[in-house]
Structure 1
Amino acid sequence: MFRSKRVIELGSGYGLAGLTIAATTEALEVVISDGNPQVVDYILHNINTNSGAFGETRVKPMKLHWNEKEVSNLSHTFDVIVASDCVVDDVSSQSIETTYSPLTRGKKSLCYELKAKSTFFKEFHKDLAQVTELLLKKPGPSEAIFFSPKRGNSLDKFLEEIKDNGLLFSITEIYDTEIWNRHQQLMNGDESWPGYEKDHCYPLLIRITR
């Protein structure tokens, strides 16, 4: 899947997925990106620390904000995009009013702040979908591989943005026997993960293509 391919990880945190791909798959290049400059410094440290494991694979960190112009010089250049847990919990303005109005009478600033967060979530999903379309290579085969829980209607709203950007997607629930069995254990009374529930905790596999 990754051999001889150009790969970018979005919202990577400290870059575990990207580092693993670089060390084990003979990818041509792996770019490990995040929007936080301090985190990007940590990524660089992790790359330098593990450089002996990468063979001929080029590995580099990148500060990448999904709505900024620096994305443009990478347009349509990656064979594979990977990301995990990049779809955030969404809150609609209507649900904010229904849920919080009894608690916020006389506190309009809090209502405005909550509605602003709802707008942020909408733009967040829009920016992630747009940068996915922008980075996927064309012409030629390319795909984005995301892992994310549903989180209410958050994943659905993100996938609506994916469709609006002219991309296709598929969702797979059971993609690894060991992970699925662990999920079943947690759903059936295993208390080793307090508060575990499927909607917010179980990662679905989303594959996005042109």
Structure 2
Amino acid sequence: MDPIKRKNLAKYRWLILRKALLGRRTSDVPSKGSIRVHNSVALFHITETRNCDLESWMDYKHDGTPPLTVQIKRPLSILSMEDLIEGDNTGNVCIWASEQVMARYCVVNMKQFYNKSVIEIGGGSSCLAGLFIAKYGNASRVVLSDGNNRAIMNVDSIIRKNFCNKMDNLKIPEAVQIEWDNEEVLVQYAAQFDFLFCADCLFRDDIRRHLALAIFRLLTSEGEAIIFAPRRGNSMNDFLKLAKELFGISGVSIIQKYDEKVWQFHLSNLNVSSYNEDIHYPYLIKLTKSLKNPSLLTAASSA
């Protein structure tokens, strides 16, 4: 990407964080910096309400038969300096494009999660995709996770709201703080999940290898990771190189056209000046784990 364009995009993303730090709403941030789907293609009907404690909640409704709805608590808009120092807080600001596209994918393909164990990592303060699976997918187990404690506290509130009438505790999802380089936590959850979901988490150079390893270790022997992310310069390609070391070339696939509605929106905006495929269009990456190849185990242990 051109250095000037990269600088401008970084400026827009910091504008979002600055507004959050100052306690301002982020809905008026230019869409080329925020890349939020609700500023572009409408994948969900979103309505906002406030409860008696003045908390802001949003209903995310996906049309279908029957229509599926989850309730998302908007996190407090004010970020402290301690919040910023703690680590990546982008998941506390808004629900990003890739997360909403991934949530739609989960809704459309809900049947494949029946009686499966599912985890979403890096899900921010909503874990929107994993929440839909937990509520409607009849999965055997769902874990909603992020590396940021503030985000997980919000997810815990969301779980209580959406599952307040659930009698079967085994079906209620878990909210867990999982940092991808935390060995103690990874050992606790290793090789337990048939499906792993992750949205727009490939951009951090300092943690990318830890992310690839965490995905590999969390999946069962035949598990599958489903990742949605834009290219973001070399970020995606750098991640794919790491993924091929772990999953093998045949275990890694990238799909550009996976949803007709999202694809048509993409095509209709190619000539729009504010639209940049490099940061606005999420690709679908599938990583399929297979322990039949012993060389993959060697690569994982030595990485």
Range of TM-score over shorter length: 0.7 to 0.9
**What aligned pairs does 1:79-158 form with structure 2 within 5 A after superposition?**
79-88=194-203, 121-138=204-221, 141-158=222-239
Cα drift, residue 54 of structure 1: 6.5
- 1:209/1:54 CA distance change after superposition, 3 Å: farther
Q: Which residue of 1 aligns with 2:88?
A: none
Confirm whether residue 59 of structure 1 aligns to residue 173 of structure 2: yes
Cα drift, residue 124 of structure 1: 1.2
Counterpart Cα distance in 1 of 2:161 and 2:224? 29
Q: Which residue of 2 aligns with 1:72?
A: 187
Name the SS of the counterpart of 1:123 in structure 2: coil
Any runs of at least 4 consecutive aligned residues in structure 1 with deviations exceeding 4 A, and if so which?
A: 52-56
Confirm whether residue 38 of structure 1 aligns to residue 38 of structure 2: no
Name the SS of the counterpart of 2:119 in structure 1: strand
Counterpart Cα distance in 2 of 1:198 and 1:188? 10
- The partner residue of 1:165 within 233, 246, 256 is 246
TM value normalised by structure 2: 0.54
- 1:143/1:55 CA distance change after superposition, 3 Å: farther
- The partner residue of 1:182 within 262, 265, 280 is 265
- 1:206/1:55 CA distance change after superposition, 3 Å: farther
Name the SS of the counterpart of 1:187 in structure 2: coil
Cα drift, residue 58 of structure 1: 3.1
**How many residues are paired up?**
172
Q: Aligned AA for 1:81?
A: L
TM value normalised by structure 1: 0.77
Report 1 or 2 for greater relative contact order, CA contacts < 8 Å, sequence distance ≥ 6.
1
Contiguous gaps of at least 5 residues in structure 1: 89-120
Q: Which residue of 2 aligns with 1:106?
A: none
User: Structure 1 vs Structure 2: percent identity of aligned residues?
Assistant: 33
CA contact (8 A) 1:23 1:55 kept: no
CA RMSD of aligned residues (A): 1.6
Cα drift, residue 200 of structure 1: 1.1
CA contact (8 A) 1:23 1:54 kept: no
Cα drift, residue 122 of structure 1: 3.3
User: C-alpha deviations, 1:62-95, integer Å up to 9, x for none?
Assistant: 000000121111111100000111111xxxxxxx
- 1:153/1:5 CA distance change after superposition, 3 Å: same
Confirm whether residue 195 of structure 1 aligns to residue 274 of structure 2: yes
CA contact (8 A) 2:116 2:195 kept: yes
Name the SS of the counterpart of 2:211 in structure 1: helix
User: C-alpha deviations, 1:99-138, integer Å up to 9, x for none?
Assistant: xxxxxxxxxxxxxxxxxxxxxx433110110001100102
Q: Which residue of 2 aligns with 1:49?
A: 161
Counterpart Cα distance in 2 of 1:172 and 1:59? 29
